[in-house]
Amino acid sequence: MPSFLVLAAMKGRFISELGNPYDNFQMMAYVEAGSSKEAVTNFFDQTPFPIRWEDVEYLWAEQLADHPDGGHYGDYERVYVESLRRRNEPGSLP
């Protein structure tokens, strides 16, 4: 089963010591899964440490392999925290 690196786009900006603003991304975990979306879902469902989910805008996973499809999931496979929460609401589609 492939291994993935799960990353999170945090709400807010990082300001360097020189005052330059940057997007704030955090490495969250290594996860084995069949796909990038499955890696994110598995991480969300079994988070190994406390996370303030209101601080996270979206998650994505990058496969840990030299693969031509790598390096794009932050742009194309975003999984928003609200969509993960809604999965468990009554009447939601699987």
18 vs 21: CA distance, rounded Å? 9
Strand partners, 13: 23
**Closest CA relative to residue 73, chosen from 41, 36, 42:** 36
Question: Is the per-residue pLDDT at 87 higher than 60?
Answer: yes
Name beta bridge partners: 7. 27, 60
Residue 77's pLDDT is 83
Per-residue pLDDT, 57: 93
At residue 94, the pLDDT reads: 53
Per-residue tokens: 89 = 């609401």
Per-residue pLDDT at 45 = 94
- What whole-number distance in Å separates Cα of residue 60 and Cα of residue 40? 6
Instruction: Give 32-68 pLDDT, tens digit per residue.
Output: 999 989 999 999 999 999 999 999 999 999 888 876 6
The answer to whether residue 21 scores a pLDDT higher than 70 is yes
